[in-house]
Structure 1
């Protein structure tokens, strides 16, 4: 899972670090390792794979990452959508 370069440059620290992932209305959290390289930024394969597996994500699902600012540790709320009858529906 990678992030657009402009988003990463504007909103994320230019070093590798952990980002806490949360899902709305769920008590579980996931610690995803964010790696930074000047040419590519994103989550490490192993931490992202655990998030995918635990949330039963599959091809066709769309993840929207909401960066939470003003907290001591980097956090993102992940909203997951799927397409049903031509419309995107939020998954719990």
Structure 2
């Protein structure tokens, strides 16, 4: 469970370890409601994995706001691309 940030999104360290996210910059394709968005995952400080380029467009296109929750589900982990399904829980639905 990750709370939404609008410009850059950090993936949790426990999630990254559990699904064996790579220790290098990589393209991550996000899927939601039949659509796809290409983002870039960047590594900072050795263990922090951030979705940078493309994340803001994903947030905008899905009308996400700070405080909404995203659940990331790893779908494929190929040598050249990661694909994750994203399940959104809007703040109004849970609080």
Distance apart, 1:80 and its partner CA? 0.4
Structure 1: 4+ residue segments shifted above 3 A:
69-72
Distance apart, 1:56 and its partner CA? 0.5
Aligned equivalents of 1:82, 1:74: Cα separation in 2: 25
* Larger RCO, structure (CA 8 Å, separation 6 or more): 2
Number of the residue aligned with 1:18:
27
The count of corresponding residues between Structure 1 and Structure 2 is 84
Give structure 1 stretches of 5+ with no counterpart: none
Instruction: From the CA coordinates, give the structure whose radius of gyration is larger.
Output: 1
TM-score by length of structure 2 reads: 0.73
TM-score by length of structure 1 reads: 0.75
